[in-house]
Amino acid sequence: MPLARFKDLCLDATDPAALGRFWAGVLGLDLSMQGSGDVVLRGPTAQHTIWVNRVPEPKSVKHRVHLDVQAAAVQPAVDLGATMLDDSFPWTVMSDPEGGEFCVFVREEPVNERLYEIVLDTADSAEASTRIATWWGELLGAPVVHDDRGFSYVHEIPGAPFDSLDFVPVPEAKTVKNRIHLDVLTGDVDALVAAGATVLRAQDDEIGWTVLADPDGNEFCAFESSSDDAWPVDRDLVDQGVSDPFAR
């Protein structure tokens, strides 16, 4: 049995309303404002949910976690406020209104799910990407593929509204908190720690989840839920007034 299930995504923003409007348009999601000033984007399932949370610090380095999207054309993202950075690949590298990098893959066939992949940078070796992809694959109970091109990915993730988590070697080391992270459901936070996760902030009177890091230092949040439970109540149904879930 997997130790965790994919729940949803979270994005950091200095202006949640503006960044939320952008990503709602790019991904075809519905936007609602929260009492705290944060934004939630919703789609056809709970797993499509994306939280856009206010943080005080602006983006300072290249995103170590970024989104790949698929679309019929690049221009709609530009019209929403994206900036084109590099179109020399089979995909187009762009940045959102806060400078966050993402990639657009243009498709000739109709696009059903606009979110294509979530890409995580790793240390600069195929072994490093293999190691952390294997960790996430075991955590989520999903198959792992080690590509001959030197990267690895986890796919067929139960409930996930995207194709895969891709782990790609890069020369840069992680230096700051990631501005994109995953939320997961788990029946046992201690089991995540035993598997190699590190607790950054335990559940307390202010937050109803545990902030952790994977063995590479990538932050993620775990919500406790029995394996027999339905998807738990989303955060916005009880406004907790926490603008930064990593605040200590």
Q: What is the pLDDT of residues 119-169, one digit of tens each?
A: 999 999 999 999 999 999 999 999 999 999 999 999 999 999 999 999 999
Domain holding 201, by residue range, is 4-237
Amino acid (one-letter) located at 225: S
pLDDT above 60 for 244: no
Is residue 246 included in any domain, yes or no?
Answer: no
Is residue 27 within 8 A of residue 70, CB to CB? The reply is no
In a domain, 82, yes or no: yes
Residue-level pLDDT at 64: 98
* pTM for the whole structure: 0.91
Examine residue 99 and state whether it is found in any structural domain, yes or no. yes
- Would you call 62 helix, strand, or coil by DSSP? coil
User: Positive or negative, the Cα torsion across 123, 196, 214, 2?
Assistant: positive
> Using an 8 Å Cβ cutoff, are 191 and 227 in contact?
no
Average pLDDT of the residues in 16-42: 97
Q: Take residue 52 and report the two structure tokens written for it.
A: 């856009």
Q: Is residue 25 part of a domain?
A: yes
Question: Percent of the chain having pLDDT more than 70?
Answer: 91
> 156: helix, coil or strand?
coil
How much is the mean pLDDT over the chain?
93
Q: How far apart are CA 229 and CA 211, in angstroms?
A: 21
Q: How far apart are alpha carbons 111 and 123 in whole angstroms?
A: 32
Q: Classify residue 94: in a domain, yes or no.
A: yes
* Whether pLDDT at 240 is above 90: no
247 domain residue, yes or no: no
For residue 77, being part of any structural domain is answered with: yes
CA distance between the termini of the chain: 32
Q: Does 248 map to a domain?
A: no
The enclosing domain of 22 has a CATH number of: 3.10.180.10
- Contact yes or no for 133/144 (Cβ under 8 A): yes
The pair phi, psi for residue 46, each rounded to 5°, is: -60, -30
- Provide the domain count of the chain: 1
CA distance 34 to 189: 27
